[in-house]
Structure 1
Amino acid sequence: MAAKRLAGWALQPERYPEPTRVGADAAPHLVAQLVIPRRASSFGPKLERGRWHNLGLAATALDGVGISAASPFSFWRTVGRLSAGRGFVEGAHFEGGCIVPAVGGGVCSLSDALFDLALRSGCTILERHGHTLAVDRGPKGPRRKRVDATVKWPYVDLRFAPARGLLRLSTRSRKDGLHLALHGDAPVEAWPVEVSEPQICVEAGQRYVHTTIRRGPTTIGRDRKKLIVMPTRNCDTCQEHSCGRHRGA
Structure 2
Amino acid sequence: MRGEDLRYKKRSDFRLKCGAAYYTMLRYGLWLSGKYKFAETTGKERLPELQTSHKTPLLRKLKDVDMRYQYNKIRNLELAVQRLDKILLPPGRTLSYWKCIGKPTYRKGYLDGIVLHAGMVGHGCGGGLCQLSNLIYWMTLHTPLEVTERHRHGYDVFPDSNRTQPFGSGATCYYPYGDLMIYNPTNRPFQLCLWVGDEYLEGEWRSLEPPEHTYRIVEKDHEMRSEWWGGFSSHNRLYKQVLTPDGRLVSETLAAENHAMMMYSPFLPEKAEAEV
Q: 1:204-239 CA distances to partner (integer Å, 9 max, x unpaired)? A: 3242110111101111111000112238699xxxxx
| CA separation of 1:180 and 1:143: change in aligned 2, threshold 3 A | closer
Q: Does 1:145 align with 2:166?
A: yes
Task: Give the Å deviation of 1:98.
Answer: 2.3
Alignment check: 8 A CA contact 1:170 1:180 kept: yes
Worse overlay, 16-25 or 201-210:
16-25
Deviation at 1:21, TM superposition (A): 1.0
Cα offset, 1:141, TM superposition: 9.0
Partner in structure 1 of residue 60 of structure 2: 40
Is the aligned partner of 1:210 residue 2:235?
Answer: yes
Task: Give deviations 1:25-58, integer Å, cap 9, x for gaps.
Answer: 6x21000111122343213211111111111111
- Aligned letter for 2:239? R
**Alpha-carbon contact 2:157-2:273 (below 8 Å) kept:** no
Alignment of 1:133-172 (within 5 A): 133-135=155-157, 137=159, 140=161, 145=166, 147-164=169-186, 165-172=188-195
> Equivalents in 2 of 1:89, 1:211: separation in Å?
34
* 1:178-219, Cα deviation, whole Å (9 max, x unpaired): 221110122213311123373111333242110111101111
The match for 2:220 among 178, 186, 196 is: 196
Whether the 8 Å CA contact 2:92–2:184 is kept in 1: the answer is no
TM-score by length of 1: 0.84
After superposition, the CA RMSD in angstroms is 2.4
Write the distance in 1 (CA, Å) between the matches of 2:99 and 2:239.
27
**Aligned residue number for residue 139 of structure 2:** 117
Conserved 8 A contact 2:156-2:234: yes
Q: Which residue of 1 aligns with 2:126?
A: 104
Letter in 2 for 1:194: V
User: Which deviates further from its counterpart, 151-160 or 61-70?
Assistant: 61-70
CA distance, structure 2, for counterparts of residue 94 and residue 149 of structure 1: 13
User: 5+ unaligned residues in a row in structure 1: which ranges?
Assistant: 235-249
Which amino acid in the other structure matches residue 254 of structure 2?
T
Contact 2:225 2:232 in 1 (8 A): yes
**Is the 8 Å Cα contact of residues 36 and 179 (structure 1) preserved in structure 2?**
yes
Could you tell me which residue of structure 2 aligns to residue 220 of structure 1? 255
1:22 corresponds to: 43
Structure 1 residue aligned with 2:95: 73
Is the contact between residue 144 and residue 195 of structure 1 (CA under 8 Å) also seen in structure 2?
no
In structure 2, distance between residues paired with 1:160 and 1:225: 23
Instruction: Give the corresponding residue for 2:85.
Output: 63
Q: Give the CA deviation at 1:142.
A: 8.2
Q: Which amino acid counterpart does residue 221 of structure 1 have in structure 2?
A: A
Q: Return the alpha-carbon distance in structure 1 between the equivalents of residues 239 and 135 of structure 2.
A: 16
Residues of 1 paired with 2:217 and 2:82: CA distance? 27
Aligned counterparts of 1:127 and 1:11: Cα–Cα separation in 2 = 17
- Alpha-carbon distance between aligned partners in 2 of 1:4 and 1:22, rounded to the nearest angstrom: 30
Decide whether aligned partners of structure 1 residues 141 and 4 sit closer, same or farther in structure 2, where only a CA change above 3 A counts: same
> How far, CA to CA, are the matches of 1:96 and 1:197 in structure 2?
25
Secondary structure at 1:94's aligned position in 2?
Answer: strand
